Structure 1
Amino acid sequence: MTYTINRIIQDASFDDVDARVRNALAENGFGVLTEIDVAATMKKKIDKDMAAYRILGACNPTMAWEAIGMEPRVGAMLPCNVILRETEEGIEISAVDPVASMQAIPNDDLKDVADNVRQLLKNAIAAV
């Protein structure tokens, strides 16, 4: 099982893909709670250059509420990270697969929530 849901966009700039990802996430019930510009951080902290790389911490409040109600410590695995990174092929979008990340938690009800979140993330990435 892979641990991410992936897609490469070849016909757009990094910032355009970023905007499209945020819109698609919003259309599927997610908000972006955090943002990390990894390339800028690496440059600032260790003076290393790298291609554009951004981590968006996406959260679907309804799904998060349900999951936390079932497993209060599941918050250690939230929000759902979505990365955008510049590659030779284009801008790659990768979202965490919540089903894969929740395998460590022995709770069948939580797996159902993870399945729902996975589908919402797949829908969002497909819509970009």
Structure 2
Amino acid sequence: MTQLTMKVTTAKGYDETVELVRASLGDAGFGVLTEIDIKATLKTKLDVDVEPQVILGACRPQLAHAALQADPSIAALLPCNVVVRADGDRTVVEAFDPQAMTAMAPDAAVELRDIAADARARLQGALETVENA
């Protein structure tokens, strides 16, 4: 089975990492369409305290359009989620691996292969930028 995520860890602080991830995604051609603050949401809805964590919905419109042309049901997997979470004295950055969509859409796997590879390479580059910063 295809791994569902790609992950890096950094010693940088959470807030600094969130900003670095945003910049790295932008440099890779992605925009952030959505943002979910998990810490704030769980505090508001359940009155529980958790480490800071945010889900950034990253999108590269050209790739999203091509994927939707191959299989309109791919919309359920868009945008690409990138998670930044505090983990003690480290910060973890984890992104959905676009290659997993080829396993989830077997009828369009051939058409999606190049799209997924492009998205994966861009996300991997953004993660490596964060890891090496």
**Which residue pairs with 1:43 in the alignment?**
43
Bigger shift: 43-52 or 101-110? Answer: 101-110
Which AA in structure 2 matches 1:95? A
Q: CA deviation at 1:102?
A: 3.2
Q: Distance in 2 between matches of 1:111 and 1:38?
A: 32
Q: Distance in 2 between matches of 1:110 and 1:100?
A: 10
1:7 aligns with 2:4: no
Unaligned runs of at least 5 residues, structure 1: none
When normalised by structure 2's length, the TM-score is: 0.91
Does the 8 A contact of 1:8 with 1:89 survive in 2?
A: no
* Alignment counterpart, residue 114 of structure 1, candidates 105, 111, 116: 116
Q: Distance in 1 between matches of 2:35 and 2:100?
A: 22
**Which residue pairs with 2:52 in the alignment?**
52
Q: Which runs of 4+ in 1 moved over 4 A?
A: none
Alignment length (residue pairs): 127
- Pairwise CA RMSD: 1.1
Q: Distance in 2 between matches of 1:47 and 1:101?
A: 35
CA deviation vs aligned residue, 1:49-89 (integer Å, no higher than 9, x gap): 10011000000111111111111221111000000011125
CA deviation vs aligned residue, 1:24-71 (integer Å, no higher than 9, x gap): 000011000000000110000011110011000000111111111111
When normalised by structure 1's length, the TM-score is: 0.94
Bigger shift: 87-96 or 100-109? Answer: 100-109
* Alignment counterpart, residue 126 of structure 2, candidates 115, 124, 127: 124
Q: CA deviation at 1:109?
A: 1.1
Equivalent residue of 1:98, what SS? Answer: coil
Unaligned runs of at least 5 residues, structure 2: none
Q: Distance in 1 between matches of 2:50 and 2:76?
A: 28
Does the 8 A contact of 1:57 with 1:81 survive in 2?
A: yes
